Structure 1
Amino acid sequence: MARILHISEFTKGGIETHLHEVLKYQCDNHDIYLMASQQDSNLDSLAIDPDRLHIYPYKRSPKYFIKTMQCIQRMIKEINPEIVHVHGTFAGFFLRTLFLLKRKRPIVIYCSHGWAFLMDTQPWKKKVFAGIERLLSLRTDCIINISQYEYQMSMNYGLSSKKSVVVYNGVSDAPDNHLLPFNVNKDKINLLYVGRFDRQKGFDLLLEVFNDHQFMEVTLYLVGDTVLKEFDYDYPSNAVKIGWVDNSEIDRYIRACDAVIVPSRWEGFGIVAIEALRNKKPVIASNRGALPEIIQHGVNGYIFDFDNKEELANIIQGLNKNKLEMMGETGEKIFYEKFHSDKMNKQIERIYADALKKQGDLYPVTVNKYV
C-alpha cells in the first residue's frame, strides 16, 4: 500500500471518467488523496471520501497559477505522499515546476491526457510546449501516454523513451440501468454527441455539416456544453441540446441512440468512444489522434477524414440501422479485449510498483512492457 496524491486541474469531461475508474480501484489498495480545482469539477461523482478531497480556488489565468502551486506545495508537505500522479498539462506544469530545484521529492507519474504540442496550433507554439515538457520530464519518473499515437508523437518531439509507457484508458462494465432518458423516433437514425462544445472536439465541424445537409432522417442529440469559454453556435433544426449529464447517467443516453459521433479535431484518446463500445454502439469518428486505434472502419464504426467534411456527410447519409446494430455487437467484443478498466488499472499498478522499487534511480522502462 502506498500513499498516493492525484492532482487534476479540473474534472469535468473525459478526465472525470478516468479519475472515477482509477480512484474507485485504488481506494481498496492504497491511501488515496485528490486535489482538483473548484472550477469545472463534478466533485460529487468522484469515488473518494470527502475528507480525502482537497479543492483549491482556480481559474485558468496567470494570477491564479502561483496560488495553485502554493496549495499543491502545502498539500504535499501535509500528507507526504510516496507517489504523486498528476493528470493534465496544467496540473503537470504546476507540480513539476515546484520540483525543478528540489533534490528530494516524491515519485511523479504524469499523464497529459493529450499532449499540448499536438493541438491544432502554430508550429512555434508546439515547439515551445514540447520544450517545456522535455524540461519538466527531468522531474518525472514515468510518463503515461494514453495511445500509441501519443507515444510516437512524444518520441518525435524528444521525450524520453526510457520514461514513457502506453496505457490505454479504460472503463468498467456498463451499469444495469436500462431505463432510457428520452423516447426516440425509431424510424430515424439517432446520433449522440457527448463532450465539450469546443474546437478541439470538432463541435463546430459537426454543426456545420448538419446545417449544410439537413439530414431529415437523422436526429442529433447533444450532451455537454462549453467549459472554459462561452460560444454562440448555430444549431441545426434536427439537433436536441441536452446539456451536461452526470457521468453515471451517460450510458442511458448512449443506449437510447443508434450510434455515437466523435468528430474531434485533436484527441489524446476519446473515452466516450469506448463508453459507446461497451454499450454495443458503433462510433463515427475522425481520423485524428488515437481514434483510429479504437475504431476500425466498417467493423465497429466509421472513420472519416477530418479535412474532408463531405466524407462525414456521406457516412451519415448512408447509415443503416441493421448495419449499426451488427457493428455494435462487434464493438462490445473489442471493448472487453482492449479497453476494460481492469486492464488499465493493473497496468498502472505495475508502474507504481516498479517506480517504488527504483525510487531515487533513473527509471528505465520501455513502452512495450505495459502495452
Structure 2
Amino acid sequence: MKNKSILEVCLSPDLGGLELYMSNCSKYLSKEFNVYNVISKNSKLEDYFKNDKNSFLLKRKSSFSLFLALKLAKIIDKQSIDIIHLHWTKDIPIVVFSKKLSKRKPKIVQTRHMTMTRFKNDFYHKFLYKNIDTIICVTKALQEQVNKFIPKNIRPKTEVIYLGAKTSEKLKENEILKFKNSLKVNDSFMLGLVGRINEFKGQHLLIEAMSLLKEKKLNIKAYIIGHAMNEEYLEKLKQKVIKYELEEQVLFVGFTKEPSKFMQACDVVLMASKNETFGLVTIEAMRNGTAVIASNSGGVLEVIDDEKTGLLFENQNYEDLALKIEKLYKDDILREKLAYAGQKKAKIQFDYDKQFEKVIELFGRS
C-alpha cells in the first residue's frame, strides 16, 4: 500500500527541460507514492498526460487567481494530498493559496530550476516562502542564491539534487548515417543546439559564430533544435541567417521527441545560454557520448571541467565560441577525449535513476 499522496503541479504553457522534468517526476515517484498531476489546459504538456486518470487540467490565466486556487484546494482535499510538488516559479502564489484554502494543509516542495536574483524580504514574498517547506535546488550555486535572497527566519529547508539523464540506446553507425542523410549533413562537421528558441538560449550567438567559420571556409553545418517561445525572435534569427548567406549552413529543425538521436549524430553539442541554472541538455549530450561546448556561466560550471570533460567559451562572446568550435573541428583526438571523459562524469554524477532515488528519499521523510 502506497502511504503518501503527491500532487505534481506545473501550469506552464511551454515544453522544455522544466516541464519534461515534471513529467518524469510523475512517472518516477509513482513507484513509491500515489501521484496526481495538475497541468494547464491547452499546454504542451497535455500530450504527456493523455488518458491519465490521475491528471487534472486547469485553465491558468494569470500568476494569481483565487478561483484557480480554490479549484486546486478541492483536488488536494478530494485526493488526500500530503505533498504538493511544484516546478514553475510562477505557480507559487496559486499553490500557496490553495494550501491555505484546503482542509488538509499539505506540505509544499518546490524544485527550483530558475536563478534567484533579488531579495524576497517584502511582506508578500515572506508570506509565500513561509508556506513552502522545502526547496530542491538543481545546483549548489542555486542553493547559495536561495540562502542569500530569502531571509533566514522564513527560508524553507534547501536540498541540492541535480537533474539526471538516462543512458540512451546507442545507435548503430548505419542508423546514424541514415539519419544524417535525412538531414542532408553529407560530409559536414555537425553542430547541434538543443533547447527552446528564445534569446536567453543564445541561438543568435551560434549564427554569428557560423558567419565567422564560413569566412574561414570550414565545412560545418549547425542544426537548431527546439520550438520557438518567441516568434519575433525566431524571425530575427532567420533574417540573420539570410543576411550572412548561411541558408545551407544553419538549419532550423523544430521540436523533437528524440533529442538523443540528434545528439549522437552531432560531432559537438552546444549550450550557449546566457546564464543557465543547470543545463540538462549538456548532461544529456555527455551521456550520449558527444563532446560539448558551453558558456562559462551558471550551473554549467558544476557540470563541465574545461578542457577535461568539455570546452567552455566566454559567456555571450560569439568570437570565442567560433574559436572553440574550430578547435574541435580541427582536433579529432581532443574531441573524442572530451566526449569519453564527459560521458564518464555524467554517468557517475548525473545519473537519472540515482538523482530520482534522492527525490524519493526526500519525499519519504517529508
Shorter-chain TM band: 0.7 to 0.9
Alignment of 1:185-264 (within 5 A): 185=185, 187-214=187-214, 216-227=218-229, 230-231=232-233, 232-235=235-238, 236=241, 237=246, 238-246=249-257, 249-264=258-273
The one of the two structures with greater contact order (alpha-carbon pairs below 8 A, sep at least 6) is 1
User: Which whole-Å CA distance do the structure 2 matches of 1:147 and 1:4 have between them?
Assistant: 23
State the match for 1:359 in structure 2: none
- Superposed displacement of residue 12, structure 1: 0.8
- Superposed displacement of residue 324, structure 1: 1.5
- Superposed displacement of residue 188, structure 1: 2.8
Larger radius of gyration: 2
Q: Number of aligned pairs?
A: 342
SS in 2 for 1:352: helix
Deviations 1:306-358 (A, max 9, x none): 14332212112222333222211111111111101122111112211221xxx
Q: Which amino acid aligns with 1:318?
A: K
Indicate whether 1:270 and 2:279 are aligned: yes
- Superposed displacement of residue 186, structure 1: 6.3
Q: CA 1:40–1:264 in structure 2 vs 1: closer, same or farther (change >3 Å)? A: farther
Indicate whether 1:155 and 2:153 are aligned: no
Residue segments in structure 2 that go unaligned for 5+ positions in a row: none
State the match for 2:74 in structure 1: 74
Are the equivalent residues in 2 in contact too, given 1:258–1:325 (CA < 8 A)?
A: no
Deviations 1:120-141 (A, max 9, x none): xxxxxx3469986554221111
Residue segments in structure 1 that go unaligned for 5+ positions in a row: 119-125, 356-371
1:166 alignment partner, one of 155, 160, 166? 160
Deviations 1:85-126 (A, max 9, x none): 1111012232024446879510111112113x34xxxxxxx3
SS in 1 for 2:289: coil
Taking structure 1 as the reference length, what is the TM-score of the superposition? 0.83
Are the equivalent residues in 2 in contact too, given 1:21–1:341 (CA < 8 A)?
A: no
State the match for 1:293 in structure 2: 302
Q: CA 1:308–1:23 in structure 2 vs 1: closer, same or farther (change >3 Å)? A: same
Indicate whether 1:140 and 2:132 are aligned: yes
State the match for 2:46 in structure 1: 43
State the match for 1:369 in structure 2: none
Are the equivalent residues in 2 in contact too, given 1:4–1:84 (CA < 8 A)?
A: yes
Q: CA 1:317–1:37 in structure 2 vs 1: closer, same or farther (change >3 Å)? A: same
Q: Which amino acid aligns with 2:150?
A: G
Alignment of 1:308-323 (within 5 A): 308-319=317-328, 320-323=331-334
Cα RMSD after superposing both structures:
2.6
User: Which whole-Å CA distance do the structure 1 matches of 2:73 and 2:138 have between them?
Assistant: 27
State the match for 1:334 in structure 2: 345
Q: CA 1:324–1:281 in structure 2 vs 1: closer, same or farther (change >3 Å)? A: same
- Superposed displacement of residue 299, structure 1: 1.3
State the match for 2:169 in structure 1: 175
State the match for 1:344 in structure 2: 355
Are the equivalent residues in 1 in contact too, given 2:77–2:102 (CA < 8 A)?
A: no
Q: Which amino acid aligns with 1:243?
A: G
Are the equivalent residues in 2 in contact too, given 1:223–1:245 (CA < 8 A)?
A: yes
Moved more, 9-18 or 74-83: 9-18
Deviations 1:13-33 (A, max 9, x none): 102432343222222211111
Q: CA 1:295–1:146 in structure 2 vs 1: closer, same or farther (change >3 Å)? A: same
- Superposed displacement of residue 206, structure 1: 2.7
- Superposed displacement of residue 77, structure 1: 2.7
SS in 1 for 2:253: strand
User: Which whole-Å CA distance do the structure 2 matches of 1:194 and 1:332 have between them?
Assistant: 18
- Superposed displacement of residue 73, structure 1: 2.4
User: Which whole-Å CA distance do the structure 2 matches of 1:40 and 1:325 have between them?
Assistant: 40
Are the equivalent residues in 2 in contact too, given 1:258–1:321 (CA < 8 A)?
A: no
Are the equivalent residues in 2 in contact too, given 1:263–1:285 (CA < 8 A)?
A: yes
Are the equivalent residues in 1 in contact too, given 2:191–2:220 (CA < 8 A)?
A: yes
User: Which whole-Å CA distance do the structure 1 matches of 2:37 and 2:99 have between them?
Assistant: 19
